[in-house]
Structure 1
Amino acid sequence: MNVFTYLDTPLGRMTIQANDQGLLGAWFTTQTTQPDDLGEQDDGHAILNQAALQLSEYFAGIRNQFDVPIAAKGTAFQQQVWQALTTIPFGETWSYQQLADAIDNPKAVRAVGLANGKNPISIIVPCHRVIGKSGKLTGYAGGVERKAALLKLENAI
């Protein structure tokens, strides 16, 4: 059964969704990638509480790695890209090409970009750390302003 809760952050309210296997999603309320059915609200679920605590610590500047279990749903390719995202070090940025290279598929830059954009777990699976080859801050489902704020929080820009 899927459950969810809300977390107020310095960058706006987030919705966090999980099941007993792990975290399914973490979205800013303005993101359009949230599922229509979040499940039941459960402010006492262990995984939701762990994710909320870790995100709060991240925004407070006392956490730079996450260890909440992840159970996001996606294709095998999306899962591969999302796993690679978790290897981008805190405070660093990669280009889409570097991300494609990391999954040993250097010609899949465009597909990597699409998979990156479908990442359901904002911040914890750090798709905000992927930027254009020129260094330009390209799209972010939570808004480019939030992407810039997250990278600034990490001293990456």
Structure 2
Amino acid sequence: MEKAFIQTPLGIAKIEGDEDGLSAITVLDTSEEITKIIPEALEDAMYQLQEYFEGQRKVFDLELNPEGTDFQRRVWEALLNIPFGKTVSYLELSKTLGDVKAIRAVAAANGKNPLWIIVPCHRVIGSDGSLTGYAGGLHRKKWLLEHESPVKQQSLF
């Protein structure tokens, strides 16, 4: 398993994977030394993340290989269908998966998503529009949603 640390506007991200695909991307609250030579298996992920943060990429095209239960994988697959700049509620996501009563299990699987940004769990919000739990911190979720928003907030002054 290869790994690399890259700088993002939201902190240092750790990328993990191999020739079979990406297994994890996490944002860290600690400081790590930025990787100077990116392993070949992780180069595309690094470039695509850079393009995303520069506003040049809305869809990722990467081989994914996260570890999880069959149910978690179904939830993560459903997350990939949420378009850039859009959000869905946990209830809507549960309905998409065919079981409105599974809302808590869906939320738990969402919280275990190992592929930060690539599998866009940040696009799932509360039914009332609130920014509910996010493993990377609500300040990062807010930043990501604003970054993807088609309507940019402008200053009045």
- TM-score, normalised on structure 2? 0.89
Tell me which residue corresponds to 1:8.
Answer: 7
- Count residues with an aligned counterpart: 147
**Greater relative contact order: 1 or 2 (C-alpha under 8 angstroms, separation 6 or more)?**
1
1:92 and 1:156 in contact (8 A); partners too? no
Matches within 5 A, 1:17-32: 17-30=16-29
Aligned residues of 1:25 and 1:122 also touching (Cα < 8 A): yes
Matched, 1:127 2:121: yes
- Supply the AA of the counterpart residue of 1:124: I
Q: Secondary structure at the match of 1:133?
A: coil
**Kept in 2: contact 1:95–1:131 (CA 8 A):** yes
TM-score by length of 1: 0.89
Partner Cα distance (1:6, 1:120) in 2: 15
Q: Is the CA contact (8 Å cut-off) linking 1:94 and 1:129 kept in structure 2?
A: yes
Q: Distance in 1 between matches of 2:70 and 2:19?
A: 21
What RMSD, in angstroms, separates the aligned Cα atoms of the two structures? 1.7
> Which runs of 5 or more residues in structure 1 are unaligned?
32-40
Give distance in 2, aligned partners of 1:102 and 1:45: 37
Matched, 1:137 2:149: no
4+ residue runs of structure 1 moved beyond 3 angstroms?
41-44
> How far did 1:102 drift?
1.3
Query: How many percent of aligned residue pairs carry the same amino acid?
Result: 46
Instruction: Determine the C-alpha separation between the residues in 1 that align with 2:138 and 2:38.
Output: 32
Q: How does 1:102-113 map to 2 (within 5 A)?
A: 102-113=96-107
Mark the CA change 1:156 to 1:104 in structure 2 (over 3 Å): closer, same or farther. Answer: farther
**Deviation digits for residues 4-60 of structure 1, max 9, x if unmatched?**
0011001111000002100001000139xxxxxxxxx89443331100100000000
| 1:1-157 correspondence to structure 2 within 5 Å | 2-30=1-29, 43-155=37-149
Distance 1:54 1:152 in 2: 19
Letter of the 1:7 partner, please give it.
Answer: I
Q: Which moved more, 1:95-104 or 1:143-152?
A: 95-104
Point out the structure with max Rg over C-alpha.
2
